Chain A
Amino acid sequence: MRIVLAHFKDQTLQHLRAPGYLLPTLAMPGLFYFLFEGQDTDVRLVTFLMASIAMWAILGVAFFQFGVGIAEERATAWERFLRTLPLSAGQRLGGRVLSAGLFAAVAAAVVIALAHLINPVSVAADRWLPWIAALLAGGVAMALAGIAIGYWVSPRAATALATLAWLLLAYLGGLWETPGELPGWAAEVSRYLPTRLWGEVTWAAVQGQATSLSDWLGLAAWAVGFAVLAGWGYRRDEGASYR
Chain B
Amino acid sequence: MTADIRDPQPVAELRGIHKRYGTVEALRGVDLQLQPGELVALLGPNGAGKTTAVSILLGQRRPDAGSARLFGRDPTLPAARRPVGVTLQESGFPDNLTVREVVDLVRVHYAEPAPTRELLDRFGLTEVAGRRAGGLSGGQTRRLAVALAFAGRPQAVVLDEPTTGLDVEARHRLWEVVRAFVADGGAVLLTTHYLEEAQALASRVVVIAGGQVIAQGSVDDITARTGLSRVHLQAPALPELPGVSHIEATNGSYTLYTADPDGLVRALALRGVAFSGLRVERASLEEAFLHLTGGTS
Binding site for B on A (CB under 8 A): 2-3, 6-7, 9-10, 13-15, 17-18, 76-78, 80-81, 83-88, 241-243
Contact = CB atoms under 8 A, between A and B. Distances in A.
Given A14-B97, A87-B109, A242-B60, A77 B81 contact: no
Given A6-B108, A10-B97, A242-B60, A78 B92 contact: yes
Interface in B108-130: 108-110
A7 B109 CA distance: 10
B228 interface: no
Contact of A86 (B62, B109, B148): B109
Counting chain B residues whose Cβ lies within 8 A of the other chain, the interface size class is 20 to 34
Interface string B87-114: 0101111101100010011101110000
Contacts of B94: 10, 14, 78
15 contacts: A10-B97, A10-B105, A14-B94, A15-B96, A77-B92, A78-B93, A80-B88, A81-B86, A83-B60, A85-B81, A85-B106, A86-B82, A88-B78, A241-B60, A242-B60
Given A17-B96, A77-B90, A3 B109 contact: yes
Nearest to B52: A243
A88 B80 CA distance: 11
Interface string B199-242: 00000000000000000000000000000000000000000000
A84 B60 contact: yes
Contacts of B92: 76-78
A82 to B, nearest CB: 9
B79 interface: yes
| Prevailing SS type, chain B contact patch | loop
Contacts of B21: 243
Contacts of A17: 96
A202 B106 CA distance: 41
A30 to B, nearest CB: 23
Given A76-B92, A86-B78, A13 B101 contact: yes
Contacts of B108: 2-3, 6
Contact of A243 (B59, B61, B80, B96): B61
A18 B95 CA distance: 9
B12 interface: no
Contacts of B288: none
A87 B148 contact: no
A59 to B, nearest CB: 23
Given A77-B92, A86-B110, A242-B62, 5 more contacts: A9-B105, A13-B97, A13-B101, A81-B145, A86-B109
Interface string B63-94: 00000000000000011111010101011111
When A and B form their complex, which 9 residue pairs have the shortest distance between CB atoms, in order from nearest? A77-B92, A6-B108, A17-B96, A86-B82, A84-B86, A77-B90, A14-B96, A86-B78, A88-B78
A85 B78 contact: yes
Contacts of A242: 60-62
A86 B86 CA distance: 11
Nearest to A76: B92
A135 to B, nearest CB: 28
Contacts of B90: 77, 80
B190 interface: no
B143 to A, nearest CB: 14
Contacts of B109: 3, 6, 85-87
A84 B58 contact: yes
Nearest to B101: A13
A13 B95 CA distance: 11
Nearest to A79: B92
Contacts of B79: 86
